[in-house]
Structure 1
Amino acid sequence: MSKSSDWEAWEQALKVKGCSESCWVRNLSLPDEQEHALPDAQGGLPSVDDKIREAAAAKLYQNIRPWQTRILRIEPATQLDKPVICTLLVADVIAFEGLGVVEEDGPKEIPYEALSYTWGAPVFSLPIQINGIEFFITANLDSALRHLRLGDSKRYLWVDALCINQFDTKEKSVQVGRMFSIYKKARRVVAWNSGWSAKKSIVLSTVLANMSNSQKHSEDCVARFKRLYQFLVKACEPPLFKRTWVRQEAFAARDMVMQFSGLQISWGDYERIRDFIALIRQRANVKYESSLLDFTDAIYLKSPFNAIMTLVQPDYKNDPRSRDERDQAAVDAPVSLLDSLVFSSSFGVTDPRDLVYGILGFTTVPVSQTGMDISQPTLKVDYGRSISEVYQDVVKYEVARTESLDILDFAASHPDPSDIPSWVPDWRTYDYQLVQHRVLNKTNSWKYGFIDVKRVGVSWKPIQQPPGATGVLSAKGIVLGTLHDKIDDTTAWRPFISTSFESGFKKRFGGRNFDDTELFPGVSRDYKLAFNDMLKDEKLPLYEGKLAGVRVTKAGIRLITLLQNEMLERIKHDLRDRVIVPPEPIRGNHTLGCASSDISLAPKRFQGNDIIVLFQGSQCPFVLRASSPGRHTLIGRAIFPFWFEHKSSSFDDLRMEEMAWTSPKGIFTQTSDILESRLKWPEKMASIWRPVLRDTEFLNSLEDFQLV
């Protein structure tokens, strides 16, 4: 039955009071919360010593070629408590379906399945037999293998914990780089959900069999619906979906089935259960608390379940295509590495390096391998590198890929002390609220002076990093000012107006001053009130920022002067070089920006004598703090100059070109690359910055920096 017919049946049922004693909801036996899939199979046993496991691995594993992997053959058993006996076979990752293996009766092509599951706590206490060798695994994997083995035939399963020698760093690095293709070649991916008893599986099976039933229901069933709702929500958001690796596995899967203890259901039925949740939520009048939503944006991707469905940003609310078409379009769309990483804080890993390595397969990142084209930036999976080095590799990859330093804008504050350099986002503790602020609150790039590096039309690229450098990011930048915390309210809020801008404005507008309210209403000599209004409405573009005083440098004054003059040139161009003499009003949509040279927005942890630096290759200035001679710590983004925007008296916000920059539909369909999609008004901004970045006097202020 379709989703629409399900709704119709339930709407009819709601109109009728009373249901029979045979009502399936009334007779449903819901298990207790504490019930587990199996008794405590570990019996409180501790994990065996790593030396014992390593010795067993030395006997079990032989070196394999880079184009090879292994496949686990599980021997059949008719009873759950029978010993788990397996054979581990070397397999060639061939161009055809399945894997090429050599068995007792000769070489053959083997169709196989790939297991998606949670490792859980690293307690390796339960033994299984692999190639006649006793090998200890976790309770969750033991339970999965027992339930997945067949009663009358062998089953071929790819399991990362067993098919990869976890004690061989070099092999692990190679195999992890191939995991996406291994899951993609699998006949299907089996998603094992831990913590399910036979009773729980019976409930799920009963729901599947009856949820399309148009049977009448009475108020007596309401309490049971509430419990059933909670039960099903947990079924649709199991711990499995909080793993980083599950995203790659789900993206790669040609077909995916969900395994709940002894019950296996198709992905289509799993989707039907999720639809049914909405039906019974309405019936039971349950407060909506689940993260299961019907659209895709950055908040949607906070939900681990939703993030495995899609990691790009199609506009589900306005897209007329069917769900299947939208999901497929999302899967087929390119996903940048940064897109994936900024949502990683919702997911769990055993090894923090897997926050990076666990998502490479479904991104646009070329994984470095022997013989590949080295003319493009690549990332190499290398478990021999530390967590800090892997996260540094990400930054350097993004800098090389985008030819910009925009990723520095995602480097949040680190705990003190930290093993991660200040210029590197620490994906282990990444703040999802910062993600939302950077992605959802599209930065008005014209108003806050951001540089669109790709559109500006001027070479504004970061310098190349020295090969092999670790812990340091080299950059060239221009110091715009020094921060302090003593703001003089009587002078600091007055806009800086250069002599050239003031004379140019009078010339363009028939002797009238820039603060003539008949031309640009709202222009004043004091912006403190306007700032407080912005602060009250939480419209500031700096997450957890605060005001700071600025002792502006000569280069900072030059920057403000050039930007103001270019704004005036834009108006001159739009007016076709006409002079607007009094009392003629200004017609059309024009924007003017004024800024104080003494005010900046800075990270809340700034200190006096921190400096504001505009790096070559960055879209915005950053606050730095001297840490040692010649070296600086990155504190965070700065907004300087802080522009106050003024629209002409005839400005029409409903004009098509203005609406295009604020359309919700445009936000989610522009691109899958966060660094490219979060700037508004890029053309306006690019034209204003272009002459600034060509100005010889301004560029002569560039100096060398080393970030640590």
Structure 2
Amino acid sequence: MSSEDATSHRNPVPWVEETATPFRYNPLGEDEVRLLELEPSSSPEDPIRCKIIHASCRGDHKYDILSCDWSSSSEAPVPISLNGQTFDAPSEVWVALQRVRLETQPRLLWTDAICIDQGFDDRGHPADNPERRLQVSRLKATYQGAEGVLVWLGSAADDSHLVFEHLERCSGHTHLNWCHYKGAAAAAYERLCARPWFYRPFAAAELALSQRPAVLLCGRHRSEWPHPTRCSSFPATADYYHPPAAAGPDGRTHLHHLRQVARGGRVQLRSAVLWMRHCRAADPRDKVLGLLLLDTGLALDGPAAAALDVADLFARFTRAAIEASRNLEVLHWFGVPPASAAPAAGRPSWVPDCGATDPVGTLPRVFGAAASYSVHYPLALLPGFGFRPGGVLAARGYFVATIASVADALGGPSASSSSSEAIAAGLRGWESAVAAAASASASARPAEATAAAFRDTLAADDEADLQVESDAAPHSKKVRPPTSRWAEPFAAWYRRHGAGALLPPAADGGARAEREDALASRFARRAEAVCYGRRLFFTAGDGGGSMGLAPPHARPGDRVAFLPGGRYPFVVRARPDGTYELLGDCFLYDLDVFALRLEAQETEIRLA
């Protein structure tokens, strides 16, 4: 046993009950909740003994939430005594109970692994059963009724003690700003941020609804939430998750967003989704149910929601988000489906996969720094939108273009295809496709303009497209400036990775090697985050058409539609019955929304 950790489940002391009678749950009454009374012990060698108590949901019971991530553990369950009978507790729950057990008096707790009949199978996995759905629908009242939350992060490991010792020193000071982690402590904090508990779909609700600050427990150490986040900076939201990286999101930014979402009070649904996208859930419904526990202003009947299947829950959530906001932002929040993904059965194409984990293809203006939109930019749905029978979303908008050709999708399921080197090779293939399309067009842009269009497409740079030249009607899109903030980084990147199909080989930019490397890396990260999981496409038209970034399933003949209320246009595919399949959002270079509203015919586009 580690000297820094008095609690370990490597050598658990199981409860061995003579009759070997397995514990059986009694049904709950209509207004009841189960609480767990943990018996005291002065010795960590004593087995865990508990009692289940059926209590009224409206009763005045002094209990704490014991929260831990038990579903990701691969260790065998450990028997405990429950009402004098044997209950196979998940191993991580056994460790947590040993950690919070008092020496001289019982402790009243609520922990989902035991207080909800999870219907564990032989592998220790919970089953979907009516009681679990009912209890999940009551989670908000259960969390609000608790006095506090005890969060078990796990046993001490990976120098986690350095983080808590640093926090203990800081808490003894009266300074407003706490000293940041340095050296080994900073590295230990990054590893602590990867602990599975921070990626539980219900973690934010447990913290937000607690009557007092939650207590984080890690081995023998403890700290109040959100103290660990006070001693670290974090990458910006744009670098929160870099899709080609296999390591997942940056944990420091993940905890920062958790702190923002779980501070209590009203929180933007968009912010909550930004955090929830990187949570892990065995049941994808738990992600939506976790969002509904937060005060986002979204009205959705809780008990009914918990009883819905995945497709119905996602559809009702998406519809409620659209109706509440009067826009289509929710359709951008969950990225694009992988190229290998089959169409989702049972739900309309406009309903995103709300249970997606670490989604790719999220365009920059969806969660990035606030873009500067003209007051004339149509950010709200046009009058006449609505939901029709048969799961149809009808929205008024404009058809912009038809896809003439596509290049290969960028990235794939293997680690080798998602490395920066492989992505750079894929972008060189796209560059060759751009050069071929330009040479085949009789009215193509000049070479420099084509290269600039390619550059801004890879970076999804459309800042000028959001503004008008003048507030006086008729409104016209602001002319693109002669240069771009991505011009210098692109030039540095192109000198290292370009295929030479669009621009001639260029000499070194003259900058110091370190700065040149930093510029190239900046563009590479932007292009990787924007393009990964998407495919380059081309449209036909005057001036050689345009180019853009489409979902991976797009193909020639699909149409690009702009629906006011969306942040970006969408790729849709016509169906024989007159409806359209929504493939996902897209970036289209040099899209003139203001000209569309003046010149194009507004039409009802029915998505099914």
Q: TM-score, normalised by structure 1?
A: 0.56
Query: Equivalent residue for 1:247?
Result: 204
**Based on CA coordinates, which of the two structures has the bigger radius of gyration?**
1
Distance in structure 1 (CA, Å) of the matches to 2:568 and 2:163: 53
Query: Equivalent residue for 1:483?
Result: 403
Distance in structure 1 (CA, Å) of the matches to 2:380 and 2:161: 57
Distance in structure 2 (CA, Å) of the matches to 1:491 and 1:85: 80
Change (3 A) 1:607 1:77: same
Query: Equivalent residue for 1:72?
Result: 36
Contact kept in structure 2, 1:463 and 1:474, CA below 8 Å: yes
Counterpart of 1:626 in structure 2: which amino acid? A
Cα distance per residue 1:571-593 (max 9 Å; x no partner): 7899xxxxxxxxxxxxxxx9458
SS at match of 1:192: strand
Query: Equivalent residue for 1:692?
Result: 597
Residue 9 of structure 2 is aligned with which of 38, 42, 45? 38
SS at match of 2:601: helix
Contact kept in structure 2, 1:345 and 1:430, CA below 8 Å: yes
Are 1:570 and 2:570 matched, yes or no?
no
Are 1:63 and 2:43 matched, yes or no?
no
Distance in structure 2 (CA, Å) of the matches to 1:363 and 1:212: 30
Question: How large is the RMSD of aligned CA atoms in angstroms?
Answer: 4.7
Counterpart of 1:118 in structure 2: which amino acid? D
Residue 550 of structure 2 is aligned with which of 571, 585, 603? 603
Query: Equivalent residue for 1:431?
Result: 359
Distance in structure 2 (CA, Å) of the matches to 1:153 and 1:239: 31
% same residue? 20
SS at match of 2:150: strand
Distance in structure 1 (CA, Å) of the matches to 2:291 and 2:278: 13
Distance in structure 2 (CA, Å) of the matches to 1:618 and 1:274: 34
Are 1:534 and 2:498 matched, yes or no?
no
Distance in structure 2 (CA, Å) of the matches to 1:244 and 1:404: 25
Contact kept in structure 2, 1:74 and 1:86, CA below 8 Å: yes
Counterpart of 1:633 in structure 2: which amino acid? E
Distance in structure 2 (CA, Å) of the matches to 1:234 and 1:166: 30
Are 1:191 and 2:151 matched, yes or no?
yes
How far did 1:424 drift?
A: 3.0
Change (3 A) 1:367 1:41: farther
How far did 1:140 drift?
A: 0.5
Contact kept in structure 2, 1:299 and 1:436, CA below 8 Å: no
Change (3 A) 1:592 1:380: farther
Distance in structure 2 (CA, Å) of the matches to 1:304 and 1:294: 9
Matches of residues 482-501 of structure 1 in structure 2 within 5 Å?
Answer: 482-485=402-405, 489-493=441-445
Contact kept in structure 1, 2:469 and 2:479, CA below 8 Å: yes
Change (3 A) 1:249 1:569: closer
SS at match of 2:387: coil
Cα distance per residue 1:652-696 (max 9 Å; x no partner): xxxxxxxxxxxxxxxxxxxxxxxxxxxxxxxxx8xx58x938x9x
Matches of residues 286-301 of structure 1 in structure 2 within 5 Å?
Answer: 292-293=232-233, 297=237, 299=239
Contact kept in structure 2, 1:30 and 1:203, CA below 8 Å: no
How far did 1:203 drift?
A: 7.2
Are 1:402 and 2:320 matched, yes or no?
no
Q: TM-score, normalised by structure 2?
A: 0.65
Contact kept in structure 1, 2:385 and 2:396, CA below 8 Å: yes
Query: Equivalent residue for 2:515?
Result: none
Are 1:116 and 2:80 matched, yes or no?
no
Contact kept in structure 2, 1:482 and 1:610, CA below 8 Å: yes
Distance in structure 2 (CA, Å) of the matches to 1:478 and 1:212: 58
Distance in structure 1 (CA, Å) of the matches to 2:300 and 2:284: 20
Are 1:88 and 2:52 matched, yes or no?
yes
Change (3 A) 1:381 1:250: farther
Distance in structure 2 (CA, Å) of the matches to 1:453 and 1:113: 44
Matches of residues 159-238 of structure 1 in structure 2 within 5 Å?
Answer: 159-167=111-119, 169-196=129-156, 230-231=187-188, 233-235=190-192, 238=195
Residue 283 of structure 2 is aligned with which of 348, 351, 355? 351
Residue 296 of structure 2 is aligned with which of 364, 373, 378? 364
Change (3 A) 1:611 1:643: closer
Mark the runs of 5 or more structure 1 residues left unpaired by the alignment.
Answer: 1-28, 44-52, 95-99, 101-108, 215-224, 279-291, 314-326, 370-378, 495-524, 543-559, 575-589, 645-684
Matches of residues 609-620 of structure 1 in structure 2 within 5 Å?
Answer: 609-615=557-563, 618=566, 620=568
Distance in structure 1 (CA, Å) of the matches to 2:297 and 2:471: 42
Query: Equivalent residue for 2:88?
Result: 136
Contact kept in structure 2, 1:251 and 1:308, CA below 8 Å: no
